[in-house]
A = this chain, B = another copy of it.
């Protein structure tokens, strides 16, 4: 018997500004014969949240700066899109060989400040990260509680590259209803010694697990993880931002 199940939420269709993602996900999940259960973790990919919140920018009105033009020349990308990414950056971590690594206003470090043109209905539009992904997660959580009477945890996920390792993985950029970090401090291991591994970023592991069902083609924009005994609580994904002074890995 499975300890944990991952169930993709399909058939959500194109999401438009002003839509209620909770209602769309609830309707889609019901149509596929499923229902949310208490204790589920609903992982929602960022793009549909950004669309619903109208976090879309038309490139037609964007005047690229010198920096954007330089980066675009190397990367062969649209300088206006890079300009939007520059404007969304609280700090530029690195810009080199056409790649822009930014710290977002939330504190996340990722390529292009999370600005992305894929899976959008029109070609000359880019999507920005939600302004407050923890708030977005909380709103979806609250709306599902209201509409379905079920208390679940919600994670907003996005796909980030990382240092040292090739490829990208999904991580949590917003959480509601769960503690994003599982703290083993003080717990004994199998030999009765105190564990050396103390803090597991479970919200990122849940986001990564959900990606196995959602994939990258946006036909499955959310997944339910059932059976994982998360720690309920008033957590925020910003807890997953490692303060610079404690970051020995940089």
Contacts and interface: CB of A to CB of B under 8 A. Distances in A.
A191 to B, nearest CB: 6
A5 B4 contact: yes
A147 interface: no
A109 interface: yes
Nearest to A247: B163
Contacts of A121: 191
Contacts of A219: 190
A118 interface: yes
Interface of A: 1-8, 14, 93-94, 96-97, 99, 101, 108-109, 111, 116-123, 159, 161-171, 180-181, 184, 187, 189-191, 193, 195-197, 199-202, 204-206, 208-209, 211-213, 216-219, 223, 225-226, 228, 239-242, 247-250
Interface centre among A1, A6, A228, A250 (most CB of B within 10 A): A6
B7 A117 contact: no
Contacts of A189: 118-119, 216-218
For this chain, the copies found in one complex come to 2
Contact of A239 (B2, B166, B170, B247): B166
Contact of A199 (B109, B163, B166, B218): B166
21 contacts: A4-B209, A5-B6, A93-B249, A94-B248, A101-B249, A109-B249, A118-B197, A119-B195, A162-B162, A163-B163, A163-B247, A164-B242, A164-B250, A165-B204, A166-B240, A169-B201, A169-B204, A187-B217, A189-B216, A205-B209, A205-B211
Interface centre among A4, A165, A193 (most CB of B within 10 A): A165
Contact of A2 (B6, B123, B196, B228): B6
